[in-house]
Structure 1
Amino acid sequence: MMEKVILFALLMAFLITVLLSPLFIPFLRRLKFGQSIRIEGPQSHQKKSGTPTMGGILIVLSVIITTLVMMWKYSEPSFEIYLLLFVLIGYGLLGFLDDFIKIALKRNLGLTSKQKLLGQIVIAVVFYIVLKINDFSTAISIPFTDFQLELGWIYPLFIIFWLVGFSNAVNLTDGLDGLLSGTAAIAFGAFAILAWSGSQYDISVFAVSVVGAVLGFLVFNAHPAKVFMGDTGSLALGGAIAAIAILLKMELILIIIGGVFVIETLSVILQVASFKTTGKRIFKMSPLHHHYELSGWSEWRVVVTFWTVGLLCSILGIYIEVWM
């Protein structure tokens, strides 16, 4: 029975996104919600200026509709499902505000870093409070071992760091046509498998709904992209995947499955640290995907390479969690 629910969730989310995108993209274009391309970015990206953005709205809506329909039809929604939807919507709204300010108010940087961080922290705190009310364990599992580390009062700080950190990490990865759509589909697919193997079917349905939604979006986001997801989509996806890892008690496995997101973030940190301390840059440009672009790789080659790395990371994460 649950196999059919999983399949229906995948197909439903995919079809919602695919069928609504041809209607939604022209709507965004009429509103002149076009992407502004940073001058300091790769010059090849300037031709993308004006491409409709905020397509993440469709991803979020598709996941919400699919998850709730599947839950209400086949089982009672658990507190985990409502919590996942809260994080998805919360970070999605934060990203929407950021996108809207960039586009409608013509402030290219959107929300200030302090405003965005405050919003991310508030959502993470509410997430933790709900976990605490439901007597959620404050221990984290250590990969490769049967050992669990009890964090106690440090756990809420860990939750905040994980949600804020990975929402930003996923956001940094959204820089090339189809890059985040593909890597997100792979990572969420890995967690769907892990949730299924642990009989956490409601979380598996949510994760599969995300896979279907981003694959449907990829149809229009693949190179040359007809629409971008914007911070609306990337922040929502980043928060959601961190929340899934926490609810499955596979927090540290996210470092492996989300390896591409981690590498992208580390490239930015190393670049900034190197430039501030030595005045020299390690990469031609960060995040890392831009380095390979400026090294002469085609955009499609960079994207496919990162998808492949994401797939290998996900296979490794599943292997560690299921068979080791």
Structure 2
Amino acid sequence: MISLKVLTVTSIMSFLLVIVVGPVLIPVLHKFKFGQTVRDDGPQSHLKKNGTPTMGGLMIIISILLVSLIRVGFSNEILMALLCMFGFGLIGFLDDFIIIKRKRSLGLTPKQKIVLQVVLSFVLAYYRYVTIGDGTQFIVPFLNTGINIGIIYIPIVMVAIIGTVNAVNLTDGLDGLASGITSVVSVFFILFASVIANNFEISQMGAATLGACVGFLCFNVNPAKIFMGDTGSMALGGAVAAFALFTNTVLVIPIVGGIYFAEALSVMIQVGYYKRTKKRIFKMAPLHHHYEQSGWPETKVVFVFWIVAIILAWIGIVAMF
């Protein structure tokens, strides 16, 4: 079992780094007018957020990257795990940059995004497939059984990685929502990596992610002084995918990351149903907007989703420990 003191120190280092970088980065983003362009078809209450600095995910990426490397070193596993976080964060950065540069609410085209995501997820899935060999590829929740499905592992993991990253991206729609939920998810993976998997690299990266998310919340709780943008949400999605990938717990993501899953599912259901019937099931998708449109204050939606995330993490502990 990995020392709680070591994990705590890592989290504090990451937290403090974000706290230090935040007050420096926010004025810079203001100066260069890197402000959020809020979608016209979103909740009208969000229009007042127009111009709030975005790309705050840069401080999350910097913190996770530096602290993980300082605490772990340059092992192959931590480098590949960080590639998952940084690579998807870079895709998000390109998306944010185009949005800001062209003063519109959409950045990379869907085709451009999916091509980049497929290439990166293939590299990660193939690397993991080769390094696992004949060992356990997936741990089945509630059964504590390891399975190996051979080369089919690669496409399944690619779908899981891409799905997780985009689900976290969709969850980032309210002040403090994605960072708060990812803090909870990170705690689960810290526990699993340190207690069950005895994976020092992932436990340290998880602790760095927790610290970065809590630090970012200091600037991102309602009313947010900065947004993480796709830069941050896709980086956090990549981090969560890396935790699951390198602890063989990909199958637990729909449980522990149930909020992410519900957000993505709400969008798929809404789009599919509307195409068939020209009617909507939800007042607005993703799911958090449905509750806003139902009259819930933004802060209530975030708080309730945080609570649900904690409950799901408890269920995940029962499923995997």
TM-score range, shorter chain: over 0.9
CA apart distance, 1:138: 6.4
Change (3 A) 1:138 1:120: farther
Greater CA deviation, 145-154 or 118-127?
Answer: 145-154
Tell me how far apart the structure 2 counterparts of residues 149 and 63 of structure 1 sit (CA, whole Å).
31
Which residue matches 1:126?
123
Which residue matches 1:290?
289
Tell me how far apart the structure 1 counterparts of residues 238 and 132 of structure 2 sit (CA, whole Å).
21
* Structure 1 contact 63–206 (Cα < 8 Å) conserved: yes
* Structure 2 contact 129–153 (Cα < 8 Å) conserved: no
Tell me how far apart the structure 2 counterparts of residues 311 and 259 of structure 1 sit (CA, whole Å).
10
The one-letter code of the counterpart of 1:57 is: L
State which of 81, 86, 110 in structure 1 corresponds to 2:83.
Answer: 86
* Structure 1 contact 102–108 (Cα < 8 Å) conserved: yes
CA apart distance, 1:27: 0.4
Change (3 A) 1:64 1:146: closer
Tell me how far apart the structure 1 counterparts of residues 243 and 45 of structure 2 sit (CA, whole Å).
36
Q: For residue 141 of structure 1, give the secondary structure of its aligned residue in structure 2.
A: strand
Tell me how far apart the structure 2 counterparts of residues 146 and 205 of structure 1 sit (CA, whole Å).
24
* Structure 2 contact 256–315 (Cα < 8 Å) conserved: yes
Tell me how far apart the structure 2 counterparts of residues 318 and 289 of structure 1 sit (CA, whole Å).
25
* Structure 2 contact 191–203 (Cα < 8 Å) conserved: yes
Q: Which runs of 5+ in 2 are unaligned?
A: none
Residues 278-310 of structure 1, C-alpha deviations (whole Å, 9 max, x = no match): 221011000000010011100000000000000
CA apart distance, 1:154: 1.3
Residues 37-60 of structure 1, C-alpha deviations (whole Å, 9 max, x = no match): 000000000000000000001000
Q: For residue 224 of structure 1, give the secondary structure of its aligned residue in structure 2.
A: coil
* Cα RMSD (Å): 1.3
The one-letter code of the counterpart of 2:36 is: Q
Corresponding position: 1:105 with 2:102: yes
Q: How does 1:176-255 map to 2 (within 5 A)?
A: 176-198=174-196, 199-255=198-254
Corresponding position: 1:67 with 2:68: yes
Tell me how far apart the structure 2 counterparts of residues 40 and 263 of structure 1 sit (CA, whole Å).
21
CA apart distance, 1:247: 1.1
Tell me how far apart the structure 1 counterparts of residues 148 and 81 of structure 2 sit (CA, whole Å).
23
Tell me how far apart the structure 1 counterparts of residues 273 and 127 of structure 2 sit (CA, whole Å).
40
Greater CA deviation, 149-158 or 270-279?
Answer: 149-158
Tell me how far apart the structure 2 counterparts of residues 202 and 7 of structure 1 sit (CA, whole Å).
14
* Structure 1 contact 138–155 (Cα < 8 Å) conserved: no
The one-letter code of the counterpart of 1:9 is: T
Tell me how far apart the structure 1 counterparts of residues 138 and 18 of structure 2 sit (CA, whole Å).
35
* Structure 2 contact 11–208 (Cα < 8 Å) conserved: yes
CA apart distance, 1:78: 3.1
* Structure 1 contact 2–201 (Cα < 8 Å) conserved: no
Which residue matches 1:311?
310
Count residues in correspondence. 318
Tell me how far apart the structure 2 counterparts of residues 320 and 128 of structure 1 sit (CA, whole Å).
24
* Structure 1 contact 138–152 (Cα < 8 Å) conserved: no
* Structure 1 contact 5–70 (Cα < 8 Å) conserved: no
Misfit runs of 4+, over 4 Å? none
Q: Which runs of 5+ in 1 are unaligned?
A: none
Percent identity (aligned): 45
CA apart distance, 1:18: 0.8
CA apart distance, 1:71: 1.5
* Structure 2 contact 35–50 (Cα < 8 Å) conserved: yes
Tell me how far apart the structure 1 counterparts of residues 65 and 123 of structure 2 sit (CA, whole Å).
19
Residues 263-291 of structure 1, C-alpha deviations (whole Å, 9 max, x = no match): 11111111111111122101100000001
* Structure 2 contact 136–146 (Cα < 8 Å) conserved: no
Task: Calculate the TM-score normalised by the size of structure 1.
Answer: 0.95
Greater CA deviation, 138-147 or 248-257?
Answer: 138-147
Which residue matches 1:300?
299
